[in-house]
Structures are given as structure tokens and as C-alpha cells.
A and B are shown apart, each in its own frame.
Chain A
């Protein structure tokens, strides 16, 4: 190691007065505050008790559909991601090739396209699906949404899982092996507890992305939060239909973000000094 690397690097002293960067920063923050105040005042002025009474129950129902869709597909995706991640890390050429193709396809194409393919694409194979008894499942738009979303998130979650497991140093495996631990035992007791700390943030991000992406199902006739907002807008031509729905998504994402942060604080207590 060279001598330069051991030297302590101090941050430069804080600038005094009003350098250009600070002015720009304050100006931008002011702009954002004005923008936020603009939205709040618009909602205040456009406050329409009639609109609220008419559409709030529909929004709540939509929220329920969105939450059900996201949670079911997240859980199914998590289950499905385990074999895919296993395949990705496997030394078997065929297995890892298959897993690679799966991840490649689902991460490389838009979720919108995948949803359309599942809903309208499978819809045109009705006779074949009926003969194997799967049509009753795919007839329902919600099921199609869950199917597409679970497959999609499984690809992302498999990569998160693989990255997290591979981030644990090889020495941990070797140490465990020298103690006579079985591979599965090593994974469960030594590797995963460390890997899941690394994986928590990406999992949180994936969950947030899924919540927002779930708005896509509105186009395949599922009345989720976005679907109900579209309907409210279609009936009222009032832009606040979309502002309210944006606020609901914002609150949902904020709650999830804080939840993930809270979990992270809890599980990294032993790393704090």
C-alpha cells in the first residue's frame, strides 16, 4: 500500500457567503416548494365534496385490488425466484442457460408487453387452454395480471437473490466447509443471514416498482386504483382524478420506504458502532 493511501483525506472547508452553487440550490428548492404549494392550493381550490363522495369508495376498492395484486404476485415471484436464482448460479450449462434466458426475457421486455401477451395472447389460444383445463384461470383478467406480474418480478428477484448470495465472500463457504457443515446448512445458517441484509434494499425497491407498475393492469379491464381513476376522469373530465391517485401512490410508496428503513435499522444493529 502506498503512503498516499494512508493519508487522511479531509473534506474541503464549507464555502462561505453565497457562491453560485448555493444560489442555484436555494433557487431550485424554492421552485420545488412553489410547485408543491401550487398542487396543494389547486387541490384546495378544486376541492369538490361531490367528486369525493362519488368516487372515494371506488378509489378505496381500487386500492384493495392494487394491494392484493402486488402482494400476491410479490410472494409468488419470491417463491419462483429461488429455483431461477439456483439455475443462474448452477454449474450445469443447460440449467444456467435456461435461467439466463428467463431473466433475459423478463428483464429485457416491458411489463406492459408481457401483460398484453398474457392477456390477449393467451386469449387467442382458448381452445388449447380449455383442453388442458387452464382457461378458467386465464379467463379472469386479475389472474392474468397476477400471472404476468409474478413471472416478471421473479426474474428481478432472482437476480437480487443471486447478487446478494454472491456478495458474501467465498471464505465464508470455505470456513463452513472446514467445520464440516453441509452446503445447505451453510446456506441457511451462514450465507443467507448475511446475504439478506444486502438484499433488503433491492427488495424494497422492487416492491416499490411493482406498486407503481401495477397501474398497467388498468388496460386489461382490472379496476385497480388507476383503473378507477381513469373511470372517474372519464366521467368527470376533472384532472383531480389523476392528482388524487398520484397522491395515494405517493403515500403508499412513502410507507413502504419507511418500512424498509425500519427493518434495515433493526437487522443491522450488530453492525453499528
Chain B
């Protein structure tokens, strides 16, 4: 008796708050990784910072919604979106055909190329399959870089890591001959004291769009066209009103948006 009364009360209270919440501004929960500087990173005191985070905040301002952030391991980020742990992924996720089967994407909000880094004393000359034959290459799994490396460098040992910092540590300590990652992420690491061991070897060319996709987009659950449209117009808006350039210049010396689509 008492319990059912309580449930009824709770249910009506929930309905009420739902109605109130809908009347007020909506909260958008955004999932990100937090181990991919300078795009997204967790600081020592647990704050999420980076290009992705600033872009997401700008988009939220533009869409006039309140945003909260959730840090989530990269491996499980799509399942977590599907399970409703958050509503959108702003985590430098490349728009690829395999991911499009599971989630919907906004238009790209930036596009930077993939590159390989090697120790400074490396004898490697280039980034082709033949150059890297017999070498071991470290790449974070579940990334476009990993897909490219495992398809291209079939004569090398491609080792999968949970995220970028681990593969960087293993290149620095000499377990790996090369690592493949986003050029901006690599450059940020190379400019830090930890990356003093290493240098950029080069960019694989061509970088097929079937593997790398048109760039990084914002992922939402399938069928949420409304949200996708809102995100797309917000991206266009911050591109137009200079907000994007402001954030871009805070982190990079060049325009990371890439070619206009």
C-alpha cells in the first residue's frame, strides 16, 4: 500500500519535473574521452579542457542549451551513447561508414591528417608499407588510425593501445619503432618534455576518405535528426560569427577545419 503510494507520488513528481524541465532550457549531456590533448584532456584536478570542450561549449551557447560533460573511456564511448549515458559525443570522432551504422553524425567540425612519429635517431626513411616492413607500430585501437595501420602496414606488427598516452610512452621507451596518430595530437606531445625523444616522420599519402572519413563530427543516437540539424546550424553559426576562429587560434597556429565542404 505504502510502497505503491510512494511510487505513484514519485511518478507524478517525475512527470511534473519533466514538464518543468521541458518548459525551461534543456540539458544536453556530452560525452568525451579526456585522454587526447589538445582536443580533450582531463587536468590533474579533474577538469575537462581542450578544443573539443570549447567547441562543445560554444555550440551549446549557440543552441541555447545547458551542457554537462561526461568523461568516458574511448573503447566504450559509442555503447555508452547508445545506453543513454549521454546525448552527444564531442571527442574528435572521425565520421566513418562503420560508425555511421551505429550512430548519426553532424557535419565535420574539424579535419586534420594522420601522421607517424618515430624516435629522433630512427633510420626509417618514409611511411610506406615497404619502409615499415618488419617494424612495430603502436596505435590506439578503435580509431581511424588503427584501421588504416592494420589495413596498410600488413608486413609490420601493429600493436593496439587503449589510448594515445600509452602508445607515446612505449615509443619513448623504445618498445615501438613508430606510432600513428592525429598530427595535432602528435605535435602537442612532441612539443612537451615527454615527447623530446621523437619526431614526426611523415603523413601517409593518400589518406583515403573511406577509412579516415571527412573529418571529426559530433555523434548522436540514431534517428535524432532534430539534434543533428541543430548541431549543424550551430557549427555553421560559430564558423560565421568568428567564435570558431577564436577557439581555433587559442590552440593552433593554422586552421584545423580543413577544406570547406
Q: Residues of A at under 8 Å CB distance from B? A: 120, 123-124, 126, 135, 139, 141, 219, 221, 223, 227, 230-231, 233-235, 237, 239
Contact = CB atoms under 8 A, between A and B. Distances in A.
A230 B170 CA distance: 20
A237 B78 contact: yes
A126 B174 contact: yes
Contacts of A234: 75, 141-142, 146
A123 B102 contact: no
Given A120-B166, A237-B78, A221 B160 contact: yes
Interface string B117-144: 0000000000000000000001001100
A231 B161 CA distance: 11
Given A221-B160, A221-B161, A235-B98, A230 B141 contact: yes
A237 B159 contact: no
A159 B170 CA distance: 35
Judged by DSSP, the binding face of B is mixed
Interface string B68-85: 000000010011000000
A136 B162 CA distance: 23
A231 B175 contact: no
Given A120-B169, A123-B170, A237-B102, A231 B141 contact: yes
Nearest to B78: A237
A241 B166 CA distance: 24
Contacts of A135: 174
Interface in B76-111: 78-79, 98-99, 101-102
Contacts of A227: 160
B173 interface: yes
Given A235-B98, A237-B79, A124 B173 contact: yes
Interface in B149-164: 159-162
B114 to A, nearest CB: 17
Given A123-B175, A126-B174, 4 more contacts: A123-B169, A227-B160, A237-B78, A237-B79
A230 B161 contact: no
Interface of B: 75, 78-79, 98-99, 101-102, 138, 141-142, 146, 159-162, 166, 169-170, 173-175
Contacts of B101: 237
A223 B158 CA distance: 11
Contacts of B102: 237
A227 B98 CA distance: 20
A215 B146 CA distance: 21
Contacts of B161: 221
Nearest to B169: A120
Nearest to A122: B173
A77 to B, nearest CB: 25
Nearest to A138: B175
Chain A to chain B: the 9 pairs with minimum beta-carbon distance, closest first: A123-B173, A234-B142, A221-B159, A126-B173, A237-B102, A234-B141, A126-B174, A139-B175, A219-B162
A227 B79 CA distance: 18
Nearest to B142: A234
Contacts of B162: 219
Nearest to A239: B79
B105 to A, nearest CB: 14
Contacts of B175: 123, 139, 141
A219 B75 CA distance: 11
Interface centre among A227, A233, A234, A235 (most CB of B within 10 A): A234
Nearest to A144: B175
Interface centre among B99, B142, B161 (most CB of A within 10 A): B142
A124 B169 CA distance: 8
Nearest to B138: A221
A235 B78 CA distance: 12
B97 to A, nearest CB: 12
Given A234-B75, A237-B78, A237-B98, A139 B174 contact: yes
A253 to B, nearest CB: 24
Interface centre among B142, B159, B160, B173 (most CB of A within 10 A): B173
Contacts of B98: 235, 237
A122 to B, nearest CB: 9
Contacts of A120: 166, 169-170, 173
A243 to B, nearest CB: 13
Nearest to A237: B102
25 contacts: A120-B166, A123-B169, A123-B170, A123-B175, A124-B169, A124-B173, A126-B174, A135-B174, A139-B174, A139-B175, A141-B175, A221-B138, A221-B160, A221-B161, A223-B160, A227-B160, A230-B75, A231-B160, A233-B75, A235-B98, A237-B79, A237-B99, A237-B101, A237-B102, A239-B79
